Amino acid sequence: MSFSEFTKEDYDLIEKEYGLLRESASRRCRDEGELAVVRKAFEFANSAHANVRRRSGEPYMLHPIAVARIVVEDIGLGYKSISAALLHDVVEDTDYSVEDIREAFGPKIASLVEGLTKIKVVLDNEGRNNPGELYSQSVQAENFKRILLTLNDDVRVVLIKLADRLHNCRTIEFMPEHKRDKILSETMFIFIPLAHRLGLYAIKSEMENIWLRYKEPDAYRDICSLLEGKREDKEREIDEFIAPVEKALTAAGFRFEIRKRVKSPYSIWNKMQKKQISFDQVYDLYAIRIIFDPDTSSNENERDQCYHIFSIISGLYRYMPERLRDWVKHPKSNGYEALHCTLLSPKGTWIEVQIRTRRMDDIAEKGIAAHWAYKRSGYISENDSEMEKWLSQVKDILVNPDVGALELLDIIHNDLTGAEIIVFTPKGDQKSIMKGATALDFGYLIHTEIGNKAIAAKVNMKLVPLSYVLSTGDQIEIITAEDQHPKRDWLQFLQTRRARSIVTDYFKNEREQTVAFGRKTLEEQLSSLGYKLDDSRLHSLIQAYNARNADDLCYRIGIGHIKLGNLQDVLKRTTEGTSRRLFSFLFGRDRTKQPGDAPVEVQDLDDRRFVIASCCRPIPGDPVIGFVSQDGKSVTVHKKSCPVAGEIAAKHGDRVVVPAWEIPAEEKSFLVRISLKGIDRVGLLNEISRYISLVMGVNMRKLSLGAEEGIFEGYIDIYVNSRDVLDKMMKKLSLIDGIQSVVRSEI
């Protein structure tokens, strides 16, 4: 922030933006009295922030106005939340106190402002007083715990904070690069999953696209360009697809509207990464949404009317059975209800169709706020308890004194991002459980004693072990024995937080045995990978897993808090990272030198080792992010879009630094993998290897291509000296007859 006298143009701009907010607020406020409170909050904040400017140079007051507009327009909250959004920076950034807000606006608005102030303080000040503390624990994780604790008080605090984060993302171009990386990593790790869980899909999607624009700028520009290039033709095709649908639904007596939408750049990029496919192979780029007003006089309920519409449109076009998603009968845990199907247009394009009632659409767009609004108006749905159930579970985790901040952050992240499946009891009762859960997890879901005394299970009438991984539609019966009790090795396969917590508590008083069991488990895992547990390796693993000491590491392994499924990757990062003098070390300090802007400074930069992260293997030309090690002696460099890097930045934001490639003459090649797929033909392999080796002059380390029934696929590991060379080679390879896709993939 900076200070300079406002001009008439500044005041006019503030009034204009407030006018837009007032227009939105007037549609949400129930009377003039509520609208008057909003006006009073605006005037109070406007006076408090007078002559204060943001980094962009615009009046600071435009930020709280923008946050308030998101609160009312995108989330649908009422006048108290709108007012709190306008006031959310006043206590932290000016001389006013929470007591001043309470006196002027009453206890509820003051409480919301106080919650938002606490969040702002911990996020802005982490590590500022004692940077060394960052290396012994995650200050950032502690701060997120405080943020999530506000769920105990009032969920609206988190909703307003999401609006604040969205607007900060919209204006993130004015941030120095290292702070931008930190904010975007936090956003991806916590705020985006939180928006998803609370049903705020529009906010989630916009934040994802901003993340992609800065983390993978080339991919973002390419995808946007490809979408724009096809827009006109596809608009015409979709209009032709919609016309018969409109005619048929009108004839059937439905009152409805149809909206067109294009898959977001981030969701396209994410699908390309996960499925290792090219843009042309993403077939569900386009969608339409049918939103209808249910006929209350009909014998059909909302759900049946959704199915009726599906039967009409699937009579017009062929649909893909495996892509049918029924979230009307089985709503998502965040309250989302809709029927999704994918239909084939007359021109051969697959188009997703989403069928929703007006109520379902409101909840899909505004999430929990719309859910509460319908509940207050008397509408009760089968899924009414799901959101409250999740919030109750989160509160239970937050108040557990045995859950550390880092562990909490992982639990919440996994809970927010985890998918769910539907399974059934022996009597046919439906239960939701996380994807990947085992039969024993299901036992603990039903009752603690059923889990504790479980010895086996029957899934679909077939006897299976307790570690059996469940699938959607399974019917499960747990077999118990009176003399059975929890076993430590259950922690190696249990997946749900509830089950793991119960078993962990059972063994909590047997620490010495647990440490011994954890050490034995670690030694066995290392031995299976060809390593011994010596002091050097133990020290590296203590750092890698953020443990306090060897006993703490082994204890956490013993109770299952640390799983060793990623041990090989951890060992690679700690013992096989390639140290190279490839980078200069940039702090990216903003010229205005705002407090807390600069990352942790470490002396003797020329003596620092730079380690290329083995999880993502960045090459010159990739957008990269660096992290100072716990001992301060090295900087590990990742691709900005690397999930591992995102998690580290979300937990340890003040370790973020900005490396820049400086390639010495002796460092000329970097190992990357490209995956190929296409139609097999005679001489294809020879043509591929000839182009790579002879035309491009690139060395191949490994080639693994196979063909079956006329289709070939596989990968090639090659050495290149820059991303430009890699991109050029991939583009040329994609033009070879028979090759359908060429993508960069992880080794």
DSSP conformation letters of 359-387? HHHHHHHHTHHHHHHHHHTT---TTHHHH
pLDDT at 151: 57
The answer to whether residues 265 and 220 touch, using CB atoms and an 8 Å cutoff, is: yes
The CA distance from 668 to 741, in Å, is 27
38, amino acid identity: V
The CA distance from 390 to 549, in Å, is 34
Q: Where are the domains of the chain?
A: 1-125, 217-384, 403-506, 509-558, 670-745
Backbone angles phi, psi at 134, to 5 degrees: -60, -25
Q: Report, in angstroms and rounded to the nearest whole number, the Rg of the chain calculated over CA atoms.
A: 28
Buried b (16+ CB within 10 A) or exposed e, 552-590: bbbbbbbbbbbebeebeeebebbeebeebebbebbbbeb
Three-state DSSP string of 660-716: EECCCCCCCCEEEEEEEEEECCCCHHHHHHHHHHHHCCCEEEEEEEEEECCEEEEEE
pLDDT at 71: 93
The CA distance from 327 to 354, in Å, is 10
The CA distance from 619 to 638, in Å, is 9
The CA distance from 129 to 586, in Å, is 22
Encoded tokens for 61: 């007051």
pLDDT at 353: 95
The CA distance from 439 to 670, in Å, is 45
Q: Which CATH superfamily is domain 1-125 in?
A: Hypothetical protein af1432 (1.10.3210.10)
Instruction: Note the maximum CA span of the chain.
Output: 82
The answer to whether residues 500 and 403 touch, using CB atoms and an 8 Å cutoff, is: no
Per DSSP bridges, beta strands 634-639 and 609-612 are parallel
Sheet arrangement for strand 454-459:
462-464, 454-459, 476-480
DSSP letter for 5, please: P
Classify 670-745 by CATH class: alpha beta
| DSSP helix/strand/coil, 708 | strand
pLDDT at 674: 92
* pLDDT-flagged residues of the chain (< 70): 1, 120-153, 333-334, 368-419, 509, 572-608, 631, 662-668
Encoded tokens for 422: 């539907």
Backbone angles phi, psi at 672, to 5 degrees: -135, 165
Q: CATH: 3.30.750.24, 3.30.70.141, 3.10.20.30, 3.40.1000.10. Which one for 403-506?
A: 3.10.20.30
DSSP letter for 297, please: T
* Residue-wise pLDDT tens digits, 434-483: 888 999 999 999 999 999 999 999 999 899 999 999 988 889 999 999 98
The answer to whether residues 149 and 398 touch, using CB atoms and an 8 Å cutoff, is: yes
Q: At what angle do helices 98-105 and 107-125 cross, to 10 degrees?
A: 150
The CA distance from 326 to 383, in Å, is 14
The CA distance from 674 to 485, in Å, is 50
| DSSP helix/strand/coil, 102 | helix
The CA distance from 168 to 185, in Å, is 13
Encoded tokens for 117: 């102030």
pLDDT at 669: 80
Q: Considering only CA atoms, which of 265, 271, 184 is closest in space to residue 220?
A: 265
pLDDT at 352: 92
Backbone angles phi, psi at 278, to 5 degrees: -90, 170
698, amino acid identity: V
Q: What is the model's pTM?
A: 0.72
CA dihedral of residues 571, 269, 201, 656 (deg, nearest 10): 40
Q: Considering only CA atoms, which of 263, 282, 261, 284 is closest in space to residue 273?
A: 282
**Residue 131, burial from CB neighbour count under 10 angstroms (0-12, 13-18, 19+):** middle
The CA distance from 211 to 513, in Å, is 45
Q: Angle 253-257-260 (CA atoms, 0-180°, nearest 5)?
A: 140
* Residue-wise pLDDT tens digits, 725-740: 899 999 889 889 889 8
What are the residue numbers of the active site?
92-93
Query: How many C-beta neighbours within 10 Å does residue 356 have?
Result: 26
pLDDT at 579: 46
The answer to whether residues 127 and 99 touch, using CB atoms and an 8 Å cutoff, is: no
* C-alpha distances out from residue 259 to 253, 331, 629, Å: 19, 22, 50
- Taking the alpha carbons at both ends of the chain, their separation in whole angstroms is 44
Region of residue 521 (left: phi > 0; alpha: psi -120 to 50; beta: else): alpha
537, amino acid identity: R
Encoded tokens for 340: 């999704």
DSSP letter for 403, please: S
Region of residue 729 (left: phi > 0; alpha: psi -120 to 50; beta: else): alpha
Q: Considering only CA atoms, which of 620, 737, 730 is closest in space to residue 279?
A: 730
The CA distance from 441 to 260, in Å, is 41
Long-range CB contacts (< 8 A, 24+ apart) of 571-577? 571/529, 571/531, 571/537, 572/614, 573/544, 573/613, 573/614, 573/615, 573/636, 574/537, 574/540, 574/541, 574/543, 574/544, 575/537, 575/540, 576/614, 577/611, 577/612, 577/613, 577/614, 577/636
**Residue 637, burial from CB neighbour count under 10 angstroms (0-12, 13-18, 19+):** buried
Q: Which CATH superfamily is domain 217-384 in?
A: Beta Polymerase, domain 2 (3.30.460.10)
Strand partners, 260: 288
**Residue 48, burial from CB neighbour count under 10 angstroms (0-12, 13-18, 19+):** buried
635, amino acid identity: V
**Residue 655, burial from CB neighbour count under 10 angstroms (0-12, 13-18, 19+):** buried
Q: Which residue has the tokens 């190992």?
A: 671
The CA distance from 377 to 675, in Å, is 54
Query: How many C-beta neighbours within 10 Å does residue 491 have?
Result: 23
Q: Considering only CA atoms, which of 470, 703, 500, 545 is closest in space to residue 138?
A: 545
Backbone angles phi, psi at 326, to 5 degrees: -100, 85
Query: How many C-beta neighbours within 10 Å does residue 149 have?
Result: 18
Backbone angles phi, psi at 47, to 5 degrees: -70, -40
Length of the chain: 747
* Residue-wise pLDDT tens digits, 651-670: 777 788 888 776 654 456 88
Residue 211: half-sphere exposure toward Cβ, Cα within 13 Å = 29
